[in-house]
Structure 1
Amino acid sequence: MTSSYPKAPGVYLMKNSQGVVLYVGKAKNLKHRIAQYFSREAEQRYQIKFLMRRVSDIDVVVTDTEKEALLLENTLIKKHKPRYNIQLRDDKSYLSLKLSIQDKFPRLTITRSIKKDGSQYFGPYASATACRDVLDFIEHNFCLRTCSDRELQNRARPCLQYQIQRCDAPCVGLIDSDQYRDIVEEVKLFLSGKNKELQKILMQKMEALSTAEEFEKAAHYRDLLGKIEQTLEKQRVVKHHGQDRDFIVLYHNGQKGIVSVMTMRNGNIVGTCHYYLQGYLKEVFDANEVLEQFLLQYYAEERDIPKNISLNISLASLKLITECLMEKKGEGVFLDVPRRGDRFRMIQLVLKNAELEWRRRLKKDVEEEEILAELQKKIGLKNLPRRMECFDISNIQGKSAVGSSVLFVDGKPSKSGYRHYRIRGCDGHQHLHGAQVRLKRRRRVARCEGSNDFLMMREVLMRRFASKKEETKKSVLEFPDLLVVDGGKGQLAQAVRIFEEFGLQKIDMIGLAKKAEGEKQDKIFIPGRKNAIVLPPKSLSLRLLMQIRDEAHRFAVSYHRKLHNQRLQHSQLDQIKGISQVRRNALLRYFGSLDKIREASLEDLLKVPHLQRSIAERLYHQLHS
């Protein structure tokens, strides 16, 4: 079975019958590593048997060196997000500051995602309040622009930020790019924790302005120096000679773990962030492999890689990891495992914090497990509802109708499982084939006319659950343990019919109807039962159902509003003689919205490509009549 695999370093991808990647691994010897999964020892290990029962094919990619295999493994894990590989949880919950240094006039914003877009990122910040305080401090004192790129390009006069002396108005040329870059460099020093260098620069500027008798400007730098001094006093300084260093520790018990990262910049502790690990399947927790994968995933983002990184576990592939980080940083990076001294004490401190965070998280997970068990018991579900999907419909008299589905895993939102559905027609079968088309003919489902929530719900459910074989490998979703539809018996009946047609009776389903006037709480409907189930108002399981229902509603309404606004914009512009589809799209691309087009002057309209003066004048007069 394994004789065809090469005795070379590389990466192997385990796939199921649908071609979905379940696990990605690397090996010095691919043939030897894959053979281990089919050995007698592997058959005696439940976790390996559990994985191999789902594997239908194993693909391999041969590399020249083990280092290349290490990098390729990380790339493929990020691309495919395999269910049984280590994946970081709560990464997106941390805020970072994004400085768009690739722009002519950079802007500082808050973001939760780090991308390779040429920007410089600072963080992550464990406290959202602290992150916003830093941004507020910079906006008050360093005069960076806060406007969008479109506003920067189209503004004809300075905005309010200029009037209150929080921006130098680069939009209208009141500051040139070189002067603005000097401010950006000051911001970078401040965010990098290099406050001593920044203080020296600001002191020189203050003295130069005082000599030139520009006392108001000099006073600004004096005040700024005072505020930076106050900031320095609040920071905790440790004895590491102003080093940049990350302290990274892994704490685990069994098959789950947490990695904690304490960030130090210029000798100051910036913050500590915790990352939960999920998806790990091996029977014996391999701390070496886990920490190795974490380092590659963590620093693969556009994060600042410090010159020094201290770990609590010695890695077998320490040399390979170091080489990878050095290549990315472009200069020397040193990884160590301290055994004594100040760095060892810091590692122990981070490890203690990791353990406390792990215990807090474990307690929270137990509480969530109890809520799911309570929900299963009180409603009489066949399955423990770990994966719950909720569906909702949003429309105005059948126009711009959309559906949404949201996914909750273990009681928490899983954004990767969120889906929008633009209603095509309430039969919902036009894109299906074969037996599904025959089902359509047999049932003679009519097309939507006006607002028919039942048929709209039917279409959305058909498109979701008929997709078992239709969806691409990239977007295929597991089926839920519990299906929740926003509505009563009518919406639930559509779900029952769909599940009967596709043989999905093993999946539990309920309808959650909002309380009517005079009623005290929402009602739960289940198939085959006439009367609704009413849970106590303070029931945590009811609150969880209401949370997922409200999230589905929010997600549907946001998409509906987007389509509705696009429809209004298009219809108003289409009524104006001479505005073709090409010109309409050009206007919307240039200004961004119909409101911006209304605000534009005739001269601004004439800047739009391919818009003649006569048409621009007609457009201007009709929008302002």
Structure 2
Amino acid sequence: MDFQSKNYPDTPGVYLMKDAGGRIIYVGKAISLRKRLSSYFRASADHGPKTRALVAKIAHIDFLLVSTEKEALLLEESLIKQHRPRYNIVLRDDKRSLLFRLDKASDFPRLTMTRNVVRDGSVYFGPFASASAARATQKLVGLIFRLRKCSDKMFKNRVRPCLYYQLGQCLAPCVLPVDRAQYHDLVSQVEQFLSGRSRSLVRELGRQMDVAAHDLRYEQAALLRDQIKAIEATLETQASVLRDSLDRDVVSVAQLAEEGLGVGVLFVRGGKLLEQKTYHWPGLGVAEAGDALESFLAQFYGSQRYIPGRVVLSHPPETESLAEVLAERRGGPCRLGPPRGPDERRLMDMAANLARTAHRKDGAQDVSTVLEQALNLPGPPLRVECVDISHLGGSGVRAGLVVFENGQERKEDYRAYSLPAAEGTGDDYAALAQWAERRAGSGPPWPDLLLIDGGRGQLAAVVAALGQALPDMPIECASIAKGPSRRAGELEDRVFRPGRRNPVALKSGSPALLFLQRVRDAAHRFVIGRGRAATRKRSLTGELVSLPGVGPKTVRLLFDHFGSIAAIKAADAQALAQAPGLGAKRAEKLRQALDALAAGGAES
């Protein structure tokens, strides 16, 4: 590219670098677009190999002007999420850690696990990178504190105490007259326990136990004694790393011995080290650490992630706008800065040592590299999509799309497509062509590799349809066909590429073939599962519509209120009457019809 700095303004903005095919390959922000873009093309610039490769592929640069640095940061983050450019720091395989949520707005709150933070007054604790560790902690809390376990919908419809009440692990506020003040005292104890204030909780419980024993309430005193023992046993396994009880994250970037930068993140809650995570940024040099870290943090601390009040950083952010954005998302102040005091410096050393191990755990990049070489791709396929067609005798035709990024499933990006135009044809080629048009219309992020479950014919149908729909956006495609035995997972599965008559030479059991088989099998399971679910729903919905006085509109109202056929069938007349627009009389008739339907099913 013939870069001329005079063509770009000396103002804040966001720039979009594009390759010869018009694809966005990098999105960045700058206080001065002219100065930042000039730095890429300066011969003396100390760029890492990734940046040098980027500059070699730039064919055109677009830019968007903004008023402030904060607007530039937010726009950059939005465009990175939308386009997922190849050379940006993108959290392609990031999965939000598990959190505990305590719904303080409920009369009788319960403790649940979630990955999303909603600013609704609830209190959150965590994170837990390991689901097994989170479940173990939730089980422990359930044993020590007798909070309710059932969902809100079940809580409203329950008529008798559940098994947890019989086991002494729930007060059964769903059906028993539990004092709200007593229950909220229990909720406060759970908050103390999960926020790291367990020792003050033990002292308070000990005081309550002495009072109960003095008043001859020996059963209550025994329950408090058991709680204290369970909490003390937990405290013995916890190690404090800080002398205060503040929540903070510690983030360090370190140069790797082999290639690129590693990132280590420590999650400290209540003065205790709870979890840790690593990330690998290949091809970057230490001179690019500050800019890369700021881009990473803007994506990492999204609006649905728990954000602590302090984030300790090894490299200061380039602007103060990041702290403003995080404070808005948190709903309170968020302080970013270097370590303060010996404790935080010790944690930063731990995070730096963790960051240096990041590349050892990054096997996904190896898979992408192997696929690039095995399939002769223009670059590593970091985002792989796979499509499979399913139908039953030509009816119920649908396509299932699964997505893998950096070798990991992205189930939130899975999509199922109904294809009514292909109904009754049984033509997989036509169905794939129709799906390809739908996929082209849905826009980016585009896959680096699109895998089709099928042979040369299915591959040709998709390539032709995509070529017509996206003539300026070539998408690399491949297909995987079952071997002669026609059983999924067989090592003789064959992989085809456009323009090749013979299959690609992949060895049985090779990492590339095993990964493609894994992706294909995930697509097959997904589309079959969605097809079966749709068939069951049509069958059960038809069963309800056949009842007297029940039409599609009433079925929709019942589904919206109860959430499932099983819940509708289990509801009594009083619960059915709570559905909007149903009323007591219609609810009674519907209950009688459901009973008759159940009796008829039992007789048959």
What is the TM-score when the length of structure 2 is the normalising length? 0.82
Cα distance, 1:484 vs structure 2: 3.0
CA offset at residue 138 of structure 1? 1.0
Give the secondary structure class of the aligned counterpart of 2:177.
coil
The reply to whether residue 460 of structure 1 matches residue 466 of structure 2 is no
Partners in 2 of 1:348 and 1:423 — Cα distance? 55
Distance in 2 between residues matched to 1:88 and 1:258, nearest whole Å: 13
Instruction: Please point out which of 407, 421, 424 is paired with 1:425.
Output: 421
1:442-481: CA deviation from partner (whole Å, max 9, x where unpaired): xxxxxx31644444334323433xx2xx44xxx4242544
Residues 91-143 of structure 1: per-residue CA shift (max 9 Å, x gap): 31633223333434333222334444543332222333222211111122212
Residue 335 of structure 1: aligned partner: 337
Partner of residue 197, structure 1: 200
Alignment partners' CA distance in 1, 2:38 and 2:253: 30
- 1:486 aligned residue: 453
1:523 paired residue number: 493
Which residue, 585, 589, 603 being the options, matches 2:574?
603
Preserved contact between residue 463 and residue 477 of structure 2 (Cα < 8 Å): no
How many angstroms apart in 2 are the aligned matches of 1:525 and 1:478?
A: 21
Q: CA deviation at 1:548?
A: 0.7
Structure 1: state its 5+ residue gaps: 427-447
One-letter amino acid of the counterpart of residue 602, structure 1: A
Query: Is 1:60 the equivalent of 2:68?
Result: no
Amino acid at match of 2:348: I
Deviations 1:148-193 (A, max 9, x none): 2221222233222222222222323532443332222221211111
Equivalence for 1:512: 481
- Aligned pair 1:403/2:399, yes or no? yes
1:28-84 per-position Cα deviation (integer Å, ceiling 9, x unaligned): 345554565677879x974553464253x3111113xx4x34763576357646524
TM-score with structure 1 setting the length? 0.79
Aligned to 1:49: 55
Q: 1:389 to 1:210 in 2, by over 3 A?
A: same
Query: 1:422 deviation in Å?
Result: 0.9
Residues 1:621 and 2:589 aligned together: no
Task: Give the deviation of 1:618 after TM superposition.
Answer: 3.7
Give identity over the alignment, percent. Answer: 31
Q: Say if 1:605 and 1:300 are closer, same or farther in 2 by CA, change over 3 A.
A: closer
Cα pair 1:15 1:21 within 8 Å, conserved: yes
Kindly tell me: are residues 560 and 617 of structure 1, through their superposed partners in 2, closer, same or farther at Cα, counting changes over 3 Å? same
Matched residue, 1:110: 113
**Counterpart selection for 1:267 from 251, 267, 271:** 271
Q: Distance in 2 between matches of 1:80 and 1:400?
A: 32
8 Å contact from structure 2 (residues 479, 495) kept in 1: yes
**DSSP-derived class of the 1:286 partner:** helix
Match of 2:599 in 1: none
AA paired with 1:349?
A: M
Q: Secondary structure at the match of 2:236?
A: helix
Deviates further, 328-337 or 454-463: 328-337
Give the conservation status (yes or no) of the 8 Å contact 2:92–2:405. no
RMSD: 4.0
User: 1:142 and 2:113 equivalent?
Assistant: no
2:535 pairs with 1:564: yes
CA distance in 2, matches of 1:599, 1:246: 46
* Corresponding pairs, count: 581
Deviation at 1:305, TM superposition (A): 4.9
SS at 1:91's partner residue?
Answer: coil
Mapped pair 1:589 → 2:560: yes
Structure 1 pair 166/548, CA: closer, same or farther in 2 (3 Å)? same
Would you say the 8 A contact 2:100–2:114 is kept in 1?
yes
3-state SS of 1:425 partner: helix
* In structure 1, C-alpha distance between the alignment counterparts of 2:581 and 2:414, rounded to whole Å: 40
Runs of 5+ consecutive residues of structure 2 not aligned to the other structure: 597-604
Is the 1:89–1:277 Cα contact (8 Å) retained in structure 2?
A: no
Alpha-carbon distance change, 32 to 102 in structure 1, aligned in 2, over 3 angstroms? farther
Report the Cα offset of residue 550 of structure 1: 0.9
Q: Secondary structure at the match of 2:386?
A: strand
- Displacement after TM superposition at 1:551 (Å): 0.8
Give the Å deviation of 1:492: 4.4
Structure-2 separation of matches of 1:518 and 1:284: 49
**For 1:566-617, what per-residue CA distance to the aligned partner results, in whole angstroms no more than 9, with x for missing partners?**
3223211221232233222111112222222211222322332322555434
Cα 1:610–1:112 shift into 2, 3 Å: closer
Q: Does 1:389 align with 2:371?
A: no
